[in-house]
Structure 1
Amino acid sequence: MSVRLIVRTFSELCITGGALIILFVLYVLFWTGVKAAGATEGQIDGLQDRWARGAVSAPAPTVSPASSPTANAPTSAAPAPAAYPDGKAFAMLYIPRLGKGWEWPILENTKVGTLQKGLGHYRGTASLGATGNFAVAGHRRTYGDPFKDFPKLRPGDAVIVTDGTTWFTYRIDKEPYRTVPSDTGVIDPVPRKSGFDGPGRYLTLTTCDPEWGSSHRLIAWAHLDATQPVTDGRPAAFHS
């Protein structure tokens, strides 16, 4: 094989590799955003249509399964948290700090496909407004970049959520906390490292860190500050 052929083959491979890299970057930066925009708009439209028809996605009651008592076990287990319809949007979340038009649907579960359509509610955590920890995950980058500006969150910032009947205004308690993916205690009913010292009505937001990686997680904790019916209009927190 001649030197000229080797050089030409190598050059062609470099061009092909470069083209593939460019296509991949375009997919990550552009096409996932286009897909997310369509999917998210569809979720929002469907959710608002259901609300207009008076259909609200309330969590379904759960009953603990019966079990035979033993000498070392209680006769009944504590009931599990109520669950929203799996994979379905049930609420809208707004964070004024992240932009005037920042709004995202919340769907039930945090599966890969679900987070491509909006934010995901961690199954097994508290329902919206209830005692416990209402925990929500979202992408930092790709699929619309919902939490791109997550590090901008500050104590006192409003996180506003509605289920179509009630506005729930939570307030951030501290700047985002950085941890590792295995630190599941951040979504406990009383989340570890949050500074909360007992049961309450909490909200946890989670996303990846660094911005284009996933080696760590950023966490923001908030407490329920106020509620009001949607018939009273938008909360003042939208303008604070």
Structure 2
Amino acid sequence: MTALRPERESDTSYGQQSYGVPGAFEDWSGGGAHGASPQPGAQPQSYRQEPQPYASVPEEPYLPPVDEETVALRIPDPPPAAGDALTGSAASSGARHGGGAHGGRAARRKAARRRHGRHGGADTRSPDTRSEEKSRAPLSRVEARRQARARKPGAAVVASRAIGEVFITTGVLMLLFVTYQLWWTNVRAHAQAGQEASSLQDDWANGKRNPGAFEPGQGFAILHIPKLDVVVPIAEGTNSKGVLDRGMVGHYAEGALKTAMPSDKTGNFGLAGHRNTHGEPFRYINRLTPGDPIVVETQDEYYVYKMASILPVTSPSNTSVLNPIPAGSGFTEPGRYITLTTCTPEFTSKYRMIVWGKMVEERPRSKGKPDALVS
């Protein structure tokens, strides 16, 4: 708006009424009517903004400078966390430098990067992850060597590991040995004994074997113990490797321990067999009771014995149990006896167990099997 001013009356009155205020010229000239020259650097008094009694401009309301960032609505920044010293210091620094409560755009971006990372996303890493990333910093040679020495096991650790490996290896070997003794030896011995029994029966059927003397290790009869479901070949001699370990029963036929044959009219037919491992044909002879049948099958005859007595434990050197009238059997006169010997207790060879029987029937094979094998 332009202020209203009165028209000038004459040129002579210009000095007094040109600005509508008496004395305005004098004030501008600086000396008034006395003609004093204005002082250097003095500002003309006519530029003083004094209120005009007749020309006033209405004052407009004060508006703060426009902040382009506050024109649109926006969500204010969240207050800094309690422990976020860096953010708090940045905010206070912005306030000190005239940035206000929120600071300028650059200050807010810096604060956001400090709070949430470079890309503005929340730092979701766990403290363990952050500490691990810090620990990945390159190490010096001295520190790397120190850590390598610390990771290297000491002498005590190496010794304990070696001892542990020895124990483990020993345990595995013992387990394999036990498996071999308790399982594989039986499998192999049963196969060998079965093959020998089949071969013996084939030879009898074909007439290839004749009664008489037999070579050590040669099979000549088959032992049947129906109650124990035992069917096993009888070979000459008691050699472990050649007879007993092959799953067969051995006949005492050597030296001072030589015993009679079933076909003899009197005497004691002594047999030995394993109680455990290698076919274990005599494992359960302790379950026999008086009267249980024991049958010896040869090429021409069946010899049937009845179990008479048992000696649970005796010394391995007690050879009197093999006498023609065995000591401890309860027999008092000559007869046709059978003696079964084996080790006891089970899985040891410290003592011997003895079972005796007395012949009750001799039956030719031509008449068929005896009742003990039929029933």
For residues 52-98 of structure 1, the C-alpha deviation after alignment (integer angstroms, 9 at most, x for no partner) is 112344233xxxxxxxxxxxxxxxxxxxxxxx322100000000111
Structure 1: gaps spanning 5 or more residues:
61-83
Match of 1:65 in 2: none
For residues 41 and 146 of structure 1, the distance between their equivalents in structure 2, rounded to whole angstroms, comes to 12
Q: Which of the numbers 246, 259, 277 marks the counterpart of 1:125? A: 259
* Aligned 8 A contact 1:208 1:217 in 2: yes
* Aligned 8 A contact 2:211 2:299 in 1: no
Pairs aligned (count)? 215
For residues 18 and 57 of structure 1, the distance between their equivalents in structure 2, rounded to whole angstroms, comes to 51
Q: Which of the numbers 172, 194, 198 marks the counterpart of 2:307? A: 172
> TM-score with structure 1 length normalisation?
0.86
* Aligned 8 A contact 1:190 1:197 in 2: yes
Q: Which of the numbers 217, 234, 237 marks the counterpart of 1:109? A: 237
Give 1:182 deviation, angstroms.
Answer: 0.2
For residues 97 and 179 of structure 1, the distance between their equivalents in structure 2, rounded to whole angstroms, comes to 24
Match of 1:139 in 2: 274
* Aligned 8 A contact 1:39 1:116 in 2: no
Percent identity between matched residues is 40
Q: Please give the secondary structure, in 2, of the residue aligned with 1:219.
A: strand
Cα distance change of structure 1 residues 107 and 211 upon mapping to structure 2, 3 Å threshold: same
Q: Which of the numbers 223, 231, 234 marks the counterpart of 1:93? A: 223
For residues 148 and 43 of structure 1, the distance between their equivalents in structure 2, rounded to whole angstroms, comes to 20
Give 1:176 deviation, angstroms.
Answer: 4.1
Give 1:116 deviation, angstroms.
Answer: 1.5
For residues 3 and 237 of structure 1, the distance between their equivalents in structure 2, rounded to whole angstroms, comes to 69
For residues 249 and 159 of structure 2, the distance between their equivalents in structure 1, rounded to whole angstroms, comes to 50
Q: Please give the secondary structure, in 2, of the residue aligned with 1:173.
A: strand
1:18 and 2:146 are equivalent in the alignment: no
- Higher gyration radius (CA): 2
Match of 1:78 in 2: none
More helix by share: 2
* Aligned 8 A contact 2:286 2:312 in 1: no
For residues 22 and 132 of structure 1, the distance between their equivalents in structure 2, rounded to whole angstroms, comes to 45
Match of 1:6 in 2: 159
More strand by share: 1
For residues 129 and 170 of structure 1, the distance between their equivalents in structure 2, rounded to whole angstroms, comes to 13
* Aligned 8 A contact 1:57 1:85 in 2: no
Q: Which structure would you say has the larger RCO, counting Cα contacts within 8 Å and 6 or more residues apart? A: 1
Match of 1:163 in 2: 298
Give 1:5 deviation, angstroms.
Answer: 0.5
Q: Which of the numbers 204, 212, 216 marks the counterpart of 1:59? A: 212
Could you list the structure 1 runs, at least 4 aligned residues long, displaced by more than 4 angstroms after superposition.
none
> TM-score with structure 2 length normalisation?
0.56
Q: Please give the secondary structure, in 2, of the residue aligned with 1:175.
A: strand
Cα distance change of structure 1 residues 24 and 119 upon mapping to structure 2, 3 Å threshold: same
Cα distance change of structure 1 residues 91 and 57 upon mapping to structure 2, 3 Å threshold: farther
Match of 2:331 in 1: 196
Matched AA of 2:244: L
Q: Please give the secondary structure, in 2, of the residue aligned with 1:112.
A: coil
For residues 282 and 211 of structure 2, the distance between their equivalents in structure 1, rounded to whole angstroms, comes to 26
The CA RMSD measured in Å over matched residues stands at 1.4
